[in-house]
Amino acid sequence: MKKLERNRIVFFALIAAWFVINFVQAAVTLAYEDEGYYEVYAQNLDWGYYDHPPMVALMIAAGHLFLGGTIGMRLFAVILSTLSCVVIWKLIGDKNADRNGILLFFILIGSLVMFNIYGFIVVPDSPLIFFSSLFLLAYKNYLDKPSWRSSLLMAFLAAAMLYSKYHAIVLLGLVVLSNLKMLKDIKIWTSFIVTLLLFTPHLLWQFDHDFPSFKYHLYQRSVDFSYTYPLEYIPFQLLVFGPTTFGALIYVLIKRKPVDAFEKTLYFITIGFIGFFWIMTCRGHAEPHWTVVCVIPVVILIYRHCLQDKKLIIFVRRFIFPVVVIVLIMRILLCCTNAFEFIGFWKKQLYYGIEKVAEGRPVIFRARFQDPSLYMHYTGGEAATIECYDSHKTQYDLWAFDTLMLGREVFVRIKIDSLSPSQSNDYEFDGEKFSGFITKNFQSANRIAITTTPLYQYGQIFHKGDTVFANILIHNQLSTPIDFHHEDLPIEVKAMFKDDEDKFDIVVDGFYDDIDTLRGYETIERRFYALVPDTSILWNRHKTFAVVTYDRMSIYNRTQEYFEINLDEKNK
């Protein structure tokens, strides 16, 4: 047997080992909290969703054609992770690699913390990494020979990237910036048009739903600047790539100069991606995993530089290989213990306990989209979530599953102190504690929209005990009537005072003419007033006032209207 063939066997043996390890891990590890949410995507296939494009839903739906349960949900994440390794190896292009080179490659792969995690859990980054690696392979072929075949292949893969995650826009933009000369090629412009046509169904879905994803990602999730966001960014990147691997990357970026146009693109992607999201910390927290697609250029650049820098190879053996061992130990612990509940691998006993108490009834959760998703994943039961004024909207707001439960007997998994013990109870199941109650005729204020017109002058200063007046329009967005004097879940209209940094808020009773029932799609007008409370705990100088609804389960501000109000700094 030739040496090259033996090395090929070693490579595919290690690839098979990677697949088996991830497959076993996917089968025995508890579901990550976001995975359940994406599984509900898959049960309601569409061209788009509030948070993400539809590729992750397609992956899960395809996996469930072959296997059920958690392993079916994760099946294609395992497959795509394995195939991504093969494509990245192809991108490295070391045709004379011996066993040491192959082991070097797998050490680098094994040291990438987030890539390990995405090898067995299903998230939008899984297909993004796979299709991005294929796109870069097609792009590399285009650089070698600018043919129609390679450019059209790039178009299809670019569309697949966009259907995976919107971050693909950044990567594609960096590829173009690294090689502006290709904009002179008609084939590239044709490729761009084809990509746009392939992505049109998703754009039409966005148009039909008033562009919820674009609004959310572009400005709704923005917050006031805080120095903690840019300062925490780099330490988090050390966790994404592994501290020593990230150190090796910095060394390579300083010592190595790009040898060709493809390596220049890899530099642009690495520096540009990490730099772009560091700049984005000016508008809020940047999730560490947003840069995970950079694992592709990171592995390629470090591997290639190792071929001509023995010091770097020694560094890999002494400092990066131990990280591989640590990551492996952490993965074993993740399989065997519940020690990682704090990062989102929730205990399924909680949802089994809720199922036992619900006894087949639908279950209502509050604010968190993960809870109903995991409940449905583990039990197959019916569940929904209602929003809260300070929680961001999710796909559940578009699905409106809670409206399917109106008038039905449901279990509300919410602690309500104001109800009697017979209505709000504490439960314990297999060590997991939770609270809730059963209502025979469910309703909520989740679909009541209040339009407010404040009746105070701009600049007017309010003190504790002063009265704030407003005219309000109360609109029922549903066809079903809402009982404001419901036995379990009566509706109240209240006033909220908060600072614009959302650190603190104060909710007080509102006064208005009594409302008995709000008929379907009815709008009624009321004069509303509230007394200014002690607002000294509100930190920020800029305070806001809002009229909100309350149904004992949650506080709602459907219209998201907040009005500036001047409160005395010593308002006690």
* Residue 549, pLDDT above cutoff 50: yes
Residue 324: pLDDT above 70?
Answer: yes
Q: pLDDT per residue over 61-110, tens digit each? A: 999 999 999 999 999 999 999 999 999 999 998 888 889 999 999 999 99
User: Is 237's pLDDT higher than 90?
Assistant: yes
What would the mean pLDDT of 23-28 be, rounded to a whole number?
Answer: 94
φ, ψ of residue 415 in degrees (nearest 5): -80, 120
CA 168 – CA 154 distance, rounded (Å): 13
Once rounded to an integer, what is the mean pLDDT over residues 307-333?
93
pLDDT recorded at residue 473: 96
pLDDT at site 338: 59
pLDDT tens digits, 242-265: 999 999 999 999 999 999 999 999
Give the pLDDT band (50/70/90) at residue 502.
Answer: low
Cα–Cα distance measured from residue 524 to residue 349, given in angstroms and rounded to the nearest whole number:
45
Q: Do the beta carbons of residue 173 and residue 136 sit within 8 Å?
A: no
> How far apart are the C-alpha atoms of 46 and 212, rounded to whole Å?
14
**Alpha carbon distance 557, 157 (integer Å):** 41
- Whether residue 423 contacts residue 416, with contact meaning beta carbons closer than 8 Å, is answered with yes
Residue 420 has pLDDT above 50, yes or no: no
CB 34 within 8 A of CB 370: yes
pLDDT, tens digit (0-9, with 9 covering 90-100), for 127-148: 999 999 999 999 999 999 999 9
Q: According to the model, what pLDDT value does residue 441 have? A: 93
Pairing of strands 461-462, 467-476: unpaired
Strands, E assignment, 278-421: 363-366, 383-386, 410-412
Least confident of 173-177, 207-211, 275-279, 419-423: 419-423
Helix H segments across 359-441?
370-379, 395-399
Residue-level pLDDT at 421: 44
CB-based contact 443:386 (threshold 8 Å): no
What residue ranges in 461-562 does DSSP mark as E strands? 461-462, 467-476, 482-483, 492-499, 505-509, 517-518, 523-531, 543-550, 555-556
Determine the length of the chain: 572
**pLDDT bucket at 291, cuts 50 / 70 / 90:** very high
Distance CA 435, CA 548 (A): 25
Q: What's the mean pLDDT in 166-171?
A: 96
176-188 per-position pLDDT tens digit: 999 999 999 999 9
3-state SS, residue 208: helix
Q: In a 3-state reduction of DSSP, which class is residue 434? A: strand
Distance CA 506, CA 532 (A): 10
Half-sphere exposure of 316 (CA within 13 A, CB side): 26
Reported for 560-564, long-range contacts at CB under 8 A and 24+ positions apart, including other chains, are 561/450, 561/451, 561/452, 562/498, 562/500, 563/452, 563/454, 564/458
The single-letter DSSP state of residue 283 is G
Token readout for 505 is: 């808020």
Distance CA 341, CA 30 (A): 9
Predicted pLDDT of residue 476:
96
Quick one: DSSP state of residue 286?
P
The reported pTM is 0.92
The percentage of the chain sitting over the pLDDT mark of 70, rounded to a whole number, equals 95
Name residue, tokens 């504490």: 426
pLDDT at 483: 95
Q: φ and ψ at 265, to 5 degrees?
A: -65, -40
Q: In terms of pLDDT, which residue wins out, 313 or 421?
A: 313
Query: For residue 16, how many other CB atoms are within 10 A of its CB?
Result: 11
**Cβ contacts of 145 within 8 Å, gap of 6 or more:** none
What pLDDT, on a 0 to 100 scale, did the predictor assign at position 423? Answer: 67
Q: What is the pLDDT of residue 347?
A: 72
DSSP 31: P
Helix (H) or strand (E) holding 162: helix 148-164
Number of H helices, E strands in the chain: 20, 16
Rounded to the nearest 10 degrees, how much is the dihedral formed by the CA atoms of 77, 80, 86, 89? Answer: -80
pLDDT of residue 518: 96
pLDDT recorded at residue 422: 45
The whole-number pLDDT of residue 327 equals: 93
pLDDT attached to residue 417? 61
The pLDDT of residue 337: 62
Local structure of 141: helix, strand or coil: helix
Tens-digit pLDDT profile for residues 350-380? 899 999 999 999 999 988 899 999 999 999 9
Q: What is the pLDDT of residues 199-226, one digit of tens each?
A: 999 999 999 999 999 988 887 777 777 8
pLDDT at 455 over 50: yes
pLDDT of residue 193: 97
Q: Are 566 and 461 in contact (CB under 8 A)?
A: yes
